[in-house]
Amino acid sequence: MPIDPKVALGAALPELEFAWTPSDVQLYHLGLGAGARWTDTGELRYLDDRAPQVLPTFATVAPTLGVTEPPKVSFPGVEIDLAKVVHGSQEVVAHKPIPATGKAKSTGRISEIWDKGSAAVVVQETTVTDSDGDPLWTARSSIFAKGEGGFGGERGPSNKSELPDRAPDFDVTTPTLPQQALLYRMCGDRNPLHSDPGFARAAGFPNPILHGLCTYGLVCKNAVDTVLNSDAARVTGFRARFAGVLYPGETIRSRIWLEGNELTIAATVVNREDAPVLGDVKLTFTA
């Protein structure tokens, strides 16, 4: 049985110690397209050699920097073929700005398992602390495993939210590069779905797709640049549901609504009649 909920639910994930440098931060930001405005002062804050500001979405790659093997979906009570898996959702809560240089430790657990009938959803929660033991960030992510449902578990909640019933306060389009996935994978996500045309076709896609977490980080950066004057340190949380795919070279449209200290965002693909790519997107920030 690929999923044994009695074993998996609540199971602890391996503790992991990791570190990063300003060069790692720069590479991550370049993977999101930073530097397109190469003379803009705000843009260059992401690429400073000594102390680049750090988008909170860097938390999604920091533990796997330097990894060169494809990831495995192997946890206590969970063994799933990578080709069946897509990212379902991602949330990062930043307890303080992430430093440009750091050492950290992550601890986590499998917090939820849902049976969607034709698929399964596995949710992980991890807490990351710095070298002094102070909390840096908390991450929550889910994976959607096609064909792995039907094990008799609960279906789980539906968290879909509605967009505001008015015109967005900001409407931004951002092109991606044809080589965007090949660059982003250097941050440690070597899933061949994003680089190997044969693997992508076997998984049901006509071509390799952009990493969902690349789209996730890119949309966060768009919002920070558009609404927060390129000040990443103001972001306290960012979450999204992966609602569709983006192919390298396509253009993302971000419609952004501002309410108090929260942004609601709809991210779509301009090239395919605004097909959704991220849904239920929320960014929280300090004043």
C-alpha Rg value of the chain to the nearest Å? 18
Q: What are phi and psi of 165, to 5 degrees?
A: -90, 60
For residue 26, the surrounding DSSP H or E stretch is helix 22-31
Q: Which of 29, 87, 194, 211 is catalytic?
A: 194
With 0-12 / 13-18 / 19 or more C-beta atoms within 10 angstroms meaning exposed / middle / buried, residue 85 is buried
- The answer to whether 194 is a known catalytic residue is yes
- The answer to whether 87 is a known catalytic residue is no
Q: Which of 24, 115, 189, 280 is catalytic?
A: 189
Report the interhelical angle of 22-31 vs 212-227 (nearest 10°): 90
Rounded to whole angstroms, the Cα distance separating 106 from 13 reads 9
For residue 124, the surrounding DSSP H or E stretch is strand 119-130
Q: Six-digit token pair at 116?
A: 């969607």
Do the Cβ atoms of 13 and 109 come closer than 8 Å?
yes
Question: Cβ contacts of residue 252 below 8 Å, gap of 6+?
Answer: 173, 174, 175, 176, 215, 218, 219, 222, 246, 267, 268, 269, 270, 277
Catalytic residues: 189, 194
